[in-house]
A and B are shown apart, each in its own frame.
Chain A
């Protein structure tokens, strides 16, 4: 039981490049989330999904796209990276409903130069 895993752990991109971050969970959770964490700002929700095939925007969705083709995977895409997207990205999952805490992945440290 690996919990929530994220790939890759580190990445450096040049401005304008694209990439996809992969989040996978093996707990059969319905809900999945992508956050970014910047110094002194806590975590901010980028996009979330309440089930396979459904996604929704969070607080800071601009510049990102997501897909949830399989229940266990949630992908975060950056089509044209910008330096403002330099951050640590966390994926999380939880069972249906908010009576449960979220389980977080280890994070992906992304630097855009």
Chain B
């Protein structure tokens, strides 16, 4: 059974600080996705990582994928309050037919 874990589950950080969210998964997958969810809202796609070593950046967020270690990271640089949300990673080893999501990391950026 494919398991996806995220660490930490809750993160409270001050504006201006850097931090990394980790996503581990238990079976081979060369595709990994990051999503953002604001409270009471739907999910929004942030990154699609399609191969080992893939790195993508958007604003203060940077995601990377190490398929050999079965690990993805979401790095936050100089956090701002607007980044407060829940972040989910998801893997799909069956090519579009079975996405499995992690439990989410709830991020609060404090002024």
Contact = CB atoms under 8 A, between A and B. Distances in A.
Contacts of B94: 98
A98 B90 CA distance: 11
Contacts of B111: none
Contact of B48 (A40, A99, A104): A99
B31 A98 contact: yes
Contacts of B92: 98
Contact of B97 (A44, A50, A102): A50
Interface residues of B, number: 26
Contacts of B33: 101-102
Contacts of B100: 45, 59
B12 interface: no
Nearest to A100: B48
A55 to B, nearest CB: 11
B50 A33 contact: no
Q: 8 closest pairs, A vs B, by CB?
A: A101-B45, A98-B96, A42-B101, A43-B101, A104-B43, A104-B42, A42-B103, A98-B92
7 contacts: A31-B96, A31-B97, A42-B101, A43-B88, A43-B90, A102-B45, A104-B42
